[in-house]
Amino acid sequence: MIKILVADDHPIYRKGILQILSDLQGEKHIDDVENANSLLEKLNQDEFDIIILDISMPGRSGLEIMQEIICEYPGIPILILSMYPEEQYAIRAMKSGASGYLTKDSAPGELIVAVKKLLNGSKYITSSLADKMADNLLDEGTGVLHQRLSDREYSVLCKIAEGKNMKTIAEELFISVKTVSTYRGRILEKMNMKNNTELIRYALIEGLVK
């Protein structure tokens, strides 16, 4: 029996994912959770063959949760399914240990293809992501600034670049405004920049936001 765990905090998306996965051939058990704590509880209670994980989770990002899963439950392939385009998170996710990355606007059949690949022990990488990863290897020698950031700092950078204020960012990440301000200070220091205008300009040039 194939056992799949879906973690997404949006009920409509979660229901849609479950509906698509129901088309997988063979005997299967599909479970779903809406936050990080429930995800870790499920992993403590049962064994799963694959985890489908959203990046935007309440309190902790999917990338942060993924690191804990990889440490505590090594060997479980993780497919990141996100509303964010590949430019923003795909390379970072793959470098952090994800076995695949798929955007939520992909065709339903792509999710089935990705799940099958991961279940067979392969990684799922779109042709566009493969090109981006190749470009990234070339960029590493030039010291791309945002690669210096932690996953949480990178999330804050992207939200600043999207024009969101501190209060909105705090609400979306389930942290305090003071904590957002601390992350912003670290980002500016690590990237040697002075203000949000410079951060936004950088993010636009690097294609981190559209």
Does 210 reside within a domain?
no
Q: What is the pLDDT of residues 112-130, one digit of tens each?
A: 999 999 999 999 988 878 7
Residue with tokens 């636009």: 204
Same domain, 19 and 57: yes
Same domain, 58 and 149: no
113 lies in the same domain as 39: yes
- pLDDT of the residue at 136: 66
Q: How many domains does the chain have?
A: 2
What confidence score (pLDDT) does residue 139 get?
Answer: 55
Same domain, 13 and 85: yes
Range of the domain at 201: 145-205
Whether this prediction's pTM lies above 0.85 is answered by no
- Token match 């804050």: residue? 156
For position 169, which CATH number holds?
1.10.10.10
State residue 137's pLDDT score: 63
The pLDDT score that the predictor gives to residue 79 is: 97
Among the candidates 99, 126, 153, a domain finishes at: 126
Q: 167 and 109 share a domain? A: no
Residues of the chain with pLDDT under 50: none
Whether 30 and 112 share a structural domain = yes
pLDDT of residue 12: 92
